[in-house]
Structure 1
């Protein structure tokens, strides 16, 4: 995932916009998670790891690391995902810490993908809609750098098989995402890039990273439940995130960050 062009990096924003659509789909089909579902959950790392959300985090870790490394934007989105999930539990901070540990362990254990995917299928056997949405999320995550590598596609194919999707269904999901992926994008000037991040050219590298992460956090999609956003808001958010990512990549390239 190294050596991005500006165009590739801006396209990542399209992926983020799709996460909004994903979360809204959960709500519209009454598959949202709620705090009440986890009020009596006995929080241990083992229990969390074998829950459907823990298994989903494990698969997300494997997909994120499929091509060798977890890049900066992936890490930011995953961190936000931890916040979304942990907010459902009575002890969010302890939950988030455990989720990070699960992610870190699972990203370096690609060879147990079969039992993890099989366990997720067993947990969601009666909920094909949720299985589909989780599969789509993993496909979106694999495209986060603007391309789908061979290793990522093969890992997704294995997961899809264990989640009981046919090869035709899997191919259809890939194509459906690919059609969204082919968007033209607009570049901005370096001065506009600093302005968009609320900075000046005198900002330090740390200040730039902090501003970028804050903006990603502000506009990141909640994959656990719908935010009740209108289509117009989602359109505006999509455009905003496109600009944020384009600006950040342009500044990074200009500074050699």
Structure 2
């Protein structure tokens, strides 16, 4: 890192202005130690550019989680009232994402804000869209997390579906696409619920769930199946999503979804003998 001399220069100027030559010398010495401390502080933090990146990262993280959990709270409230079960499910999602300390408090505060009667849904979603520069895969993960939360108790309330349609429209997804994402996540939710109900680890994914997760039909050929699989895996690639600004906590859910996609593809491959 290039050494800073601003402290010595300013110390020299102000010292000479106040006390002529002796003051200039004293000012230069004070400035020297200021520069030394300033340089050390920047070195310890990774430099000025590192400090700026950290501020931007914290701001982006705050926007993402505020939008995510406030909309989640709004969806939970849409059925009439937020139940203890809804709050418990939101807490489980925070656990899955590894949210602790201040970050968890931020998420909980946002969730409560979303339950308010006049919560600005459209403005909140637009702010999120601007934050992620309308990157489709990034917005898709956001929608998937919202749908996972709405489906956590196994059912999707009609009013919750309407809100998801509205959010999707703002982000550029039509109802057909939203319905497809809902079906995929319904299959994943049921698959994991059945797995938790068994004392032993399930031997594999059922073909019915597998086809729903990949968004394909049993009659589709190997080429179509491979294409669907590769597209979904590309959409959930952690390195790409991380580069686009998805917080590491949310990446955990993207990785879980990628594992489901992989399990679905393996089940279909084995059944159809795809190489």
Q: Which has the larger radius of gyration?
A: 2
Greater fraction of residues in helix: 2
- Larger relative contact order (CA 8 Å, sep ≥ 6): 1
Task: Tell me the TM-score normalised to structure 2 length.
Answer: 0.46
Task: Tell me the TM-score normalised to structure 1 length.
Answer: 0.49
